[in-house]
Structure 1
């Protein structure tokens, strides 16, 4: 796989590839020559190799580094102590899934079709999305990671935010050179971000179920929304809805809202909230405005898109919080993937209120809770974006493309 002629045939793919392995073929002398045959999300037969960066391979070979790399050999293991298994099956596919891999930083060699009857995909990395036939512990589709940060400022935030804003004002007025104050801004940003408690929810957008509301009767709309937000509530996951007003190809940012189901926080016993209470809350804080606006403006349409929401497990919350807290201002991988650019450097931002989330092609790895009370509930273990950020979540169309412009 290190043959220079092979690398010359490779065409980079813009994003990753969801892969369903059907057979592993291992080379006991060189793990880079091990491969798997299988199919993609669309059912196309492919052969896949994993060839990590040379620096990562060398680091993994150093027993003191603690670095591990994904290999077909480790994915193929099925024994009890297997470190990173992903089960292959002759019938593995989107419709009958067993193990699922996400091949990342991938390139394709179409010339191999002449020799082996299928294209060859070479990825620099791979992640297990689903181990095997373990119940549905994965979700793949258009989606994003919702980042919620505590809105109530701490004492330290109240002290630091005026200093941060003052620097921005001085830059805007030409009083300070941005390069002269960048380190001070980064320090303030990091300290403010570190004060904010963060929670994460993976959201799958059910864009194919997008519907246009034509009946503006408040009670009928209330009934419709209560039904939609419970559609995907099961096994600890919750339904929701994105609601927007669109005029032609333009989505009006000020008329974009979400309405989400959840458990009843007041009871604290894991019971579900009354969906009509959630709908009434939405109507109180903006929903009625949407209905009234569309009634008065015949050029506007009201659209609702169902969503599925999966809460992040505690270790995931910690991991994604550290990514934001420990990254330089605006450089967090999570924020760069799922948040509009102009909001990433605002330490006290309320992303949901600004309607600033961005969607991608995502693959979710889920896990089951085993505590008594929550036993059997599904939570998010990891989210992997396998495309570039596609657009603001409210620009999505029925086909899952960012067709519209948000204004």
Structure 2
């Protein structure tokens, strides 16, 4: 895989890795190893197929476009308005969650070196500095993200080395809840944990010279990394802490403190890892919102920078202790934006004359496999996710 495409896959993975890495043990541990694994794999499969539908729509619409323009070209002005409203709500919710989580971690890290700052100051500092990186452009994000991701892999390896010896098979196999209704209700948090689709239009633009097969592989490879990381993290956390402990945690710092009480170095390692996971997620989601604002506003980077980050920051400051709740809200919005809208775009485009579509260097027009059956299953997947919120 070309270095640029590999970097793009890491942006996809980094965008997903973040809130999910922190929340998944707290919501899945009570159901045990088997059901937690199967349910997460199902969510990943449905999410990845939906992402490929968005990739198809992005390519066929012409590439080099944000969601705003793709929606206008495929769904008309009404569809464009709905898409923009959902996209803004989703991205703001996700950025709020990442700012809340990052502010909490930054506050604890600084307290560890005797630097006392408030949560408000931590959140503002994180947003201003990380936002400046986003404003520098996709190429800068790509290069920084590669370094951050490499460090994350090292931290995850160290975490697993520390936690694996202490894994208890009894903890892994013990399920304190056999309620399938309760399991289904975790769908929104899990689905949001694979919420990388928002970066696809930006990455299609960034990799404008790549073949359609390379872009497809970029998405599949990028989405597979979080699945592997989530499962390893889930097993390690479940094996070291009881389900009763994890369901009572209100924040990531409580989870880290509980694991740190058993392993001397794990607290520092996990703090660094989760901080980097939040940062890479923030960069990917913020990149999508920044590019969307540039597509709509047609303003310079300074104006776009202020418009992009002011609302998520204000929202995070107002909901400082609502990390998991904000993720749940984002999950509801994401169902429409990541499942139903790409499906509607793709259905509309598949009914058009193929001579109008962009071909790659091999003369191919990209279309996701599976035909009507896969589209129908994807629709049912979206209905399942919505139903989970209404239980």
TM normalised by structure 2 equals 0.25
Q: Which has the higher contact order (CA 8 A, sep 6+)?
A: 2
Which one has the bigger strand percentage? 1
TM-score, normalization by structure 1: 0.24
Considering fraction of residues, name the structure with more helix: 2
Bigger Rg over Cα: 1
